[in-house]
Amino acid sequence: MRAQVTHRSAAAIGLAASLVGTSVLAGCSSPTTSDSAPAVKPSASAAAVVRLALPAELYGLPQSKDEKWLKVPKSMEVALKGDVLPPEGGSVAAAYLDPADVLETIELSVAAGRVVDPASVLRRNLGTQTVELEDVRPVDLGTGGAVGSCGVSHELRPAVETICNWAAPGSVGWVRITSLKKDRRDRFAELHSQLVR
């Protein structure tokens, strides 16, 4: 269902752009001066697609190829791909952990492509979490147009799950960091910068 909505939205944007172009060619646009605002404001949908990167290690944790650990990230990857418009820039899903100490893990999913309204996408994705999050707060990602938020869950006591989401003009992402008795939201901005170039 989400994919149908996305394609309809893309078609509506294309139709609107065609109508604007037709009226300009027909001479129906109002005269403008050099200091007047453009008739059509640029939007996030025109943003360049970003490049995704998966490091071999994150915070000393090696990337896992075990399908058991990739199940949730791959499921999130499919959901996130529904948030971006063409041209898509690809997607990734990964898990990082030490098999000898699985209470320290990082799971992530990212999809690249055009995102028309990052704030709206972030709100929607926060509302679809499968765990109860506490202390949800915005996180400054230091990138223009990007919005992010993190919260914590204590459902796996004594471990703490820090779950973060972001949406930006060129990408959307999800990160879950599981750590023994520690809130890891302070790592989110750096993780984002390593994944999205």
pLDDT of the residue at 49: 60
34-91 per-position pLDDT tens digit: 343 333 333 444 555 689 999 999 999 999 999 999 999 999 999 999 999 998 899 9
In this structure, the answer to whether residues 10 and 79 fall within a common structural domain is no
In this structure, the answer to whether residues 54 and 89 fall within a common structural domain is yes
In this structure, the answer to whether residues 104 and 181 fall within a common structural domain is yes
Measured between alpha carbons, how far is residue 43 from residues 40, 46, 111, 168 in Å?
Answer: 9, 6, 19, 12
In this structure, the answer to whether residues 6 and 100 fall within a common structural domain is no
In this structure, the answer to whether residues 143 and 68 fall within a common structural domain is yes
**Structural domains in the chain (count):** 2
pLDDT of the residue at 12: 36
In this structure, the answer to whether residues 53 and 12 fall within a common structural domain is no
Mean pLDDT lowest among 35-39, 96-100, 118-122, 146-150 = 35-39
pLDDT of the residue at 47: 53
pLDDT of the residue at 102: 87
For residue 26, the enclosing domain spans 2-41
How high is the mean pLDDT of the chain? 80
In this structure, the answer to whether residues 56 and 21 fall within a common structural domain is no
Record the pTM.
Answer: 0.75
CB-based contacts of 195, cutoff 8 Å, min separation 6: 52, 53, 54, 92, 108, 110, 173
